[in-house]
């Protein structure tokens, strides 16, 4: 992979990277399409990263479809698929992790200890291996995107991080590889996450700026239709600091269990 990238750079070609864990859906394809537009060479990485999974999470059963993923990547003009084995990424004696402290606090960082250290470490490794000029991520994983942006800034990594809006199903459900876990009835209930976020956004558009009121409106839509809410919070969009008042660009973030599936979503406010 590194040799391929070095040759492309030597020819003066720009490289865009879309890091994924596979099980590609339309959200991933939108990232690839934008990467194809903004760079001369497009790289897709597929790696189910064990470092970002907790001991009781779904590493073993995470959806995998390499032949299907490669076909989808080819359909949007991807030039290279980087599909390393875990033993290659984390060699014998591996013991280094990147801790992006503040933006990884709370939200998924509190519920999944070590998750964002695993994300930051593997993304940094892939940046060093692929050496892209730009890397594209979806805003559905809003905290993840904030962690990666902070890491790139703090470590002076020469990569432009591009965040793209969440791609949704026609009924509003955020596209996710984990949606395949949902039964038909759970799939219907999962729409509550976007419904709650949308209710809060509608109030902001009418002039309501108190986070407590917005959270109550979202909770009214979500609580009765999911099995458990992991978190529902309003944070500043740039540094993810908690907000009581929408006095700057903000985002409402939610994580909830529908059946046995943990889903996350978010919506910008203001």
Burial class (CB in 10 A: 0-12, 13-18, 19+), 3: exposed
Q: Which helix (H) or strand (E) holds 263?
A: strand 261-269
Neighbours of 227 (CB within 10 A): 12
Which of 90, 91, 121, 156 has the alpha carbon at shortest distance from 19?
Answer: 121
* Spatial distance between the Cα atoms of 232 and 133, rounded to a whole number of angstroms: 35
* Spatial distance between the Cα atoms of 257 and 111, rounded to a whole number of angstroms: 13
Burial class (CB in 10 A: 0-12, 13-18, 19+), 85: exposed
**Choice among 28, 92, 115, 194 that is catalytic:** 28
Q: Which helix (H) or strand (E) holds 18?
A: strand 15-20
- Residue 28 annotated as catalytic: yes
Residues serving a catalytic function are 28
């Amino acid at each position: 992979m590194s040799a391929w990238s070095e040759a492309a750079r030597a020819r003066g070609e720009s490289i865009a990277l879309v890091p994924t864990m596979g099980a590609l859906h339309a959200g991933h394809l939108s990232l690839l399409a934008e990467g194809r537009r903004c760079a001369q060479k497009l790289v897709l990485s597929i790696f189910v990263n064990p470092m970002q999974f907790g001991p009781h999470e779904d590493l073993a059963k995470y959806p995998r479809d390499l032949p299907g993923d490669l076909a989808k990547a080819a359909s949007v003009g991807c030039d290279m698929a980087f599909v390393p084995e875990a033993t290659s990424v984390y060699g014998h004696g591996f013991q280094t992790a990147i801790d992006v402290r503040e933006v990884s606090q709370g939200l998924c960082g509190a519920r999944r200890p070590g998750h964002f250290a695993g994300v930051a470490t593997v993304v940094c490794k892939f940046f060093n291996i692929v050496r892209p000029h730009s890397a594209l991520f979806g805003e559905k994983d809003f905290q993840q995107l904030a962690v990666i942006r902070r890491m790139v800034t703090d470590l002076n990594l020469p990569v432009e991080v591009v965040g793209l809006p969440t791609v949704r199903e026609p009924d509003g459900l955020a596209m996710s590889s984990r949606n395949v876990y949902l039964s038909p009835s759970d799939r219907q209930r999962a729409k509550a996450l976007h419904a709650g976020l949308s209710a809060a956004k509608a109030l902001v558009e009418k002039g309501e700026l108190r986070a407590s009121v917005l959270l109550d409106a979202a909770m009214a839509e979500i609580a009765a239709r999911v099995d458990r809410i992991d978190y529902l919070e309003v944070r500043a969009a740039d540094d993810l600091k908690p907000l009581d008042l929408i006095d700057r660009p903000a985002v409402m973030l939610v994580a909830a269990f529908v059946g046995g599936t943990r889903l996350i979503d978010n919506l910008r406010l203001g």
